[in-house]
Structures are given as C-alpha cells and as structure tokens.
Amino acid sequence: MESVNNKTAAQNHDQTAIPQVLIVGGGHVGLSFALLLAHHGMTSTLLEKGRYPDISPDADPKRSHYLDSRNTALSRRTVQIYQEIGLWSALQSHACRIDSVQISEQGSFGAATLNKDEEQVESFGQVMENAWLGRELLLAAKASPLITLIDGASVQEVSETGDQQVSVGYTLSDNGADDTAMHTAKARLLVACDGRDSSVRQLLGISTVTYDYQQTAIVGVVETDKGHEHAAIERFSPAGPLAVLPLTDADGDGNDAQQQGHRRSVVWICPKGEEEQYLNDDAHFLQTLQQAFGQRAGTFIAAGRRGAYPLTRVLAQRQVQGRCVIMGNAAHTLHPVAGQGFNLCMRDAHVLAKMLKHQATHGGDIGNANLLKRYETARQRDQKRVIRFCDAVVHGFTHPNPLVKFARNGALVAFDKLPNIKPLVANYAMGLKA
C-alpha cells in the first residue's frame, strides 16, 4: 500500500464511524481473519506494523518471495475455509497437494505411510509458498470495501473507552521516516494477530508461558533429481523432526498434469547455534539432508535461499481480556512439527468470525464478555490437544534412551499395520476433528 494511502486511511479513522472489528497484525492470520469477517458482511480495520509491497492483480504473478523463504502446509480444513470465502480459486494454482505421508526415524526400523486412496480423501492437504499465499490474501483484502488497511502502524496504547468501544493509539512510519503524531482507531472489538512478540498482548499485561526448545528451524526450498509424486516425508533425527514437502514447479501451475515435481519445501531442525553452517554452505546443507533422508527423496541437487527461525513455544495465559482477543501466534506459538500451528490459528479465526456474525445478526454486542469467554472456552480443547501432540512428538522422538527409541519405533510399526488407527490420525492431522 502506498504511503499516501497509509496516511489517508489513518486520518479518516480519526474522523469517521468506527468499524466493527479492529485487527492488529496483518500477516496471514490477520488478513485471513479480516477476509472471514468480510465474508460475513462485517467491517474491519487492520493495522500492520510492516510495510506492504505495492502489488496489483495484473503484476507479474511469479513467486517473488517478498515475505520470506518459508512455505505453509495447509490442512484440508484450512483449504475448506478458503473455499468458503471464495479465495481458493486464486490460491490453487500455486498449491501442491499431499497424496501420501511417509514417516520414519533415521537409523531405525520403524516406518509408517498414510495414503490418500486408503483413507478415501482427495488429499491430506496442500503446500504453498508463503510469498504466494501472502500476495493473494493481500490482494483480496485490498479489493474488499469492508476492509481498511493501514500499514506502517506501530501500536502504542490500548484502552477501553467505556462506551462499548476499544481504542488503539498508534504512530506511523513512512519509508523509514517516523511520524510521531498519535493516531487513534476505535472499534467494538480488538483482535490481536501480531505474532509471537505481540505488542498488544504486552500492553494488556497478559503474561506468557514460554519454553525454549534450544533448536533452530532451517527452512527453504531444494530440488531433487526424483519427482516428489506428491509425497510428504517426515523424518526424525537425533537433532529433531525433519520434513520434505512437495511443491509446484517454479513457473508451473499446480493443476498441470505435466508438473515434474522436483521442487520441495524442506524444514531442517538443528541445535541452536549450529544454523550458520546450513545457511551459508549449500554443499554442506545438501550433503546433510542426503545423509538424513537417504534416497527417499532421491538425490538433493540444489538449494535455494534459506532462513533460520529459533523454535520457542509461547502460550498466552489468557486469550480474552475486556474487548480484546489474542489470536494466532500471539496466543500460541508452536513447534513446526507436523505443520499444525497455522492451521490451528485458522480454525480459531473461523470459529470467532462465525460467532461474531451470529451476535451481530441478532443485534448483540460483539465485544460482550460472555460471548468472548464462550469463544475462548470453545477453542481450548482443540488448542490443548494440538499443543500436547506437538510436544509429545518433539520430545518423544528426540529422547536418546534406547528403550524409548525401541518403543516409539514399535509404535510406528503398529500404527502402520493395525486397522482403524490411521483414519483417526489422518482426520486429526487434516483438521477435521477439531
């Protein structure tokens, strides 16, 4: 968004009628939540601290990686949510479906495979580069008359005004030049989607429970000489869980039957402090992947740009305070094992949007304390289950005790062979049993 629009939107906010919802944090979760609200006919204003790129629908659609080097595994439930709001048609061309999931441990006998035909599903999910997902979410938000975007906005104050409104004071940054003037945005409800280090959460005085995994995720894109055949490979090593996920060809359409499928998203977990050797030396990175995965993915022949992300679990001790809701990574930042974090956030957003729509339709106050408490309670079971699952996998598969190692490999074999277990796990992973 151009800076002139940034300032104009901020000035208009100080003078015009308030929107129904104010969203702080305009990443994938914040943009998705704004679009969910718009789908239900509700207005929102979104404040984003960073600056959005100046893009348009007719600009070069090739992957620009303007966000980062990461990719997102979208569960079937998340795909259904994007279908519901009419966005999946724009996303699908750059999505690569997961037809099978292969699970094993380095240097051990245990292995299991989930296959879409056996589970009678269209796919287990889709993998998409963050650059494309972010582009399409932003274009859709900019095109919606129900969404106001204000980027370069740093939140400084949060307060309730006493007249069924919440007020946010923020300053603006325009291409590196700070505007010290305080702008004000008001709404019936504030939803904070501003990430692990949420400024709103801190301003509200909501504490967190934090656990440092002492690990770093190296994330990027690699190429192999063997086509991925839409298989996701989950591999456990002494350092932590690893994953190689299928991606579309660099310039192709994910729906094209002629896709060669040599591009793969990779998540490599290493102990904290060892990341530089994997970031700066392509040959060493590829050799390390080869040793860990063997020939399951073929030969790793090229590596693209990579990023390093420290892994820390951060859980807000409460997700509702007054007329404010904490959502996304601000509420629960999880280990990336099994790709559950973003999909959990999307289920949170979907549930809250539906509850707000129902409340507004019946003339109720969308910032009502009882309503927001019902939302928090309704989401606790799904959230706690995902958190326990992620931690159990991380700690269970990195425990060095030989007896524990034997037990977990036996469990993998049992999971692969025993009937009626795979459908339960598959539905859980796809987000269909929230």
Domain locations along the chain: 3-429
Pair 213, 312: CB distance under 8 Å: yes
Pair 356, 366: CB distance under 8 Å: yes
Where in 317-430 does DSSP place strands (E)?
A: 320-321, 324-326, 332-333
Query: For the chain, what's the residue count?
Result: 434
Write out the two tokens for 69: 């080097």
DSSP, collapsed to helix, strand or coil, labels residue 359 as helix
Provide the total of helices (H) and of strands (E) in the chain, helices listed first.
13, 20
CA 15/CA 262 separation, integer angstroms: 53
Pair 352, 191: CB distance under 8 Å: yes
DSSP, collapsed to helix, strand or coil, labels residue 229 as coil
> Integer distance in angstroms from the first to the last C-alpha of the chain?
36
Predicted confidence at residue 235, as pLDDT, reads 85
The residues, ordered by sequence, that sit 6+ positions from 272 with a Cβ below 8 Å of its Cβ are 214, 215, 216, 310
Predicted confidence at residue 418, as pLDDT, reads 67
Where in 78-146 does DSSP place strands (E)?
A: 96-98, 100-105, 111-115, 125-129
Judge: domain 3-429, CATH 3.50.50.60. yes
The low-confidence residues of the chain, meaning pLDDT below 70, are: 1-17, 59-69, 175-179, 252-255, 257-259, 395-402, 404-434
Closest CA to 185 of 150, 147, 152: 150
Quote the DSSP letter at residue 94. G
Predicted confidence at residue 189, as pLDDT, reads 97
Predicted confidence at residue 66, as pLDDT, reads 39
Place of tokens 């958190």: 387
CA 337/CA 206 separation, integer angstroms: 26
Per-residue CA distances from 428 to 78, 125, 317, 318, 382 (Å): 13, 12, 25, 25, 10
Place of tokens 């990336």: 336
Pair 264, 290: CB distance under 8 Å: no
Predicted confidence at residue 383, as pLDDT, reads 94
Pair 278, 268: CB distance under 8 Å: yes
Predicted confidence at residue 82, as pLDDT, reads 97
Count the neighbouring beta carbons within 10 Å of the beta carbon of residue 398.
Answer: 17
